[in-house]
Structure 1
Amino acid sequence: MNGITLTLRALHRGERHLAHDLVAVAERHRTEHEVQHVATDLAVWSREHVRRLAEAGAQHGAHLDDPSGHSTDGFFATLRERASEAVVRRPEPGLLLLRDLRDLHVAAAENSLHWEMLAQAAQASRDGELLDLASSCHPRTLRQMRWTNTMIKNLAPQLLTSL
């Protein structure tokens, strides 16, 4: 296993987790309509990255399972829905939202670094397909980071000073 394969695996795992976390945050904060809708849309990007990384992994001898076919229905969806309802009644949902946005930002930043590493390795090895993959997916990850950062900048002053 070489460094490119390791980076593909790390990115695949990171994007899969980010997609899951974006959906969970959207469900947990569904009363915040912007958060719900934007996080859901951003999760679609990460799921597409997961699919594309699985394809690239196969070309590099890495079997990366593509869980895009699994359903979020069932037990876990019900559990997330109930947790979301409980959060609405908690006195500090704003602080929870800030924590969730921070965690999303950190996860997207980690993925961004991996995309950069993959792009550099693709350039060094003259792998045009990997470079195209990184060049098309990395800007979306940067956009995910900009959204979380903007939300934190907008929400933090009021939420943190009103305690």
Structure 2
Amino acid sequence: MTGVGIGIVLRLLHDGERDLEQDLLTAAARHRADHEFHHVALDVARWSREHAARLADTGRDHGLDLPGPRGNPSPGALAALREKASQALGRREETGFLLLNDLRDLHLAAARNSLHWEMLAQAAQATRDERLLSLVTDCHPQTLRQIRWTNTMIKVLAPQLLAGV
């Protein structure tokens, strides 16, 4: 069992990774017509799911009872409706703005998680917790890649949508 601070950061990061996974899955479904975005979002959502599962395991060593990954929502009428709407909208300007907005929110969520990973790394070094440091070393680079991906997508879309280039 460790200090309260590490437990707080573990919980914040766990919740942040679970939220980011859900946000990525929602955005992937919303923008299904944009195949590149859709598939990459699903891939990077899997990273957040894995991070949350590993954080839940690590949390037990620190006296926390963190829930495992959320179950994937079953495809129902709402998912089918989203897919039809996505196909109907295609790559219209309005959908581009919606995608840009989603990318901004995803970027900020990933950046928040990255800061929590950094805090956890510093605490792991200070307490010489090799298991915690190993977790950060494995997971944080993927979070940084999520940030770079959203940033790159924003750089590509923003000029087209905002300046009409």
TM-score, length basis structure 1: 0.92
Query: Are the equivalent residues in 2 in contact too, given 1:25–1:39 (CA < 8 A)?
Result: yes
Matched, 1:73 2:74: yes
Q: Count how many residue pairs are aligned between Structure 1 and Structure 2.
A: 160
Q: Aligned residue for 1:93?
A: 95
Query: Are the equivalent residues in 2 in contact too, given 1:95–1:159 (CA < 8 A)?
Result: yes
2: CA distance, partners of 1:121 / 1:63: 20
Query: Are the equivalent residues in 1 in contact too, given 2:93–2:161 (CA < 8 A)?
Result: no
Contiguous gaps of at least 5 residues in structure 2: none
1: CA distance, partners of 2:113 / 2:79: 24
Query: Are the equivalent residues in 2 in contact too, given 1:27–1:81 (CA < 8 A)?
Result: no
Q: Aligned residue for 2:8?
A: 6
SS at structure 2 position matched to 1:65: coil
Contiguous gaps of at least 5 residues in structure 1: none
- Alpha carbon RMSD of aligned pairs, Å? 1.7
Q: Aligned residue for 1:129?
A: 131
Query: Are the equivalent residues in 1 in contact too, given 2:20–2:106 (CA < 8 A)?
Result: yes
Q: Aligned residue for 1:55?
A: 57
Deviation at 1:72, TM superposition (A): 1.4
**CA shift in 2, pair 1:34/1:55, >3 Å:** same
Work out which of the residue numbers 18, 40, 43 in structure 2 matches 1:38: 40
Query: Are the equivalent residues in 1 in contact too, given 2:117–2:140 (CA < 8 A)?
Result: yes
Please give the residue correspondences for 1:103-142 in structure 2 after superposition, counting only pairs within 5 Å.
103-142=105-144
Identity of aligned residues (%): 58
Deviation at 1:155, TM superposition (A): 0.7
Query: Are the equivalent residues in 1 in contact too, given 2:14–2:52 (CA < 8 A)?
Result: yes
Q: Deviations over 1:93-152 (max 9, x none)?
A: 000000000000000000000000000000001100000001110000000000000000
TM-score, length basis structure 2: 0.91
Q: Aligned residue for 1:83?
A: 82
Query: Are the equivalent residues in 2 in contact too, given 1:28–1:81 (CA < 8 A)?
Result: no
2: CA distance, partners of 1:160 / 1:81: 31
2: CA distance, partners of 1:25 / 1:43: 10
**CA shift in 2, pair 1:21/1:81, >3 Å:** farther
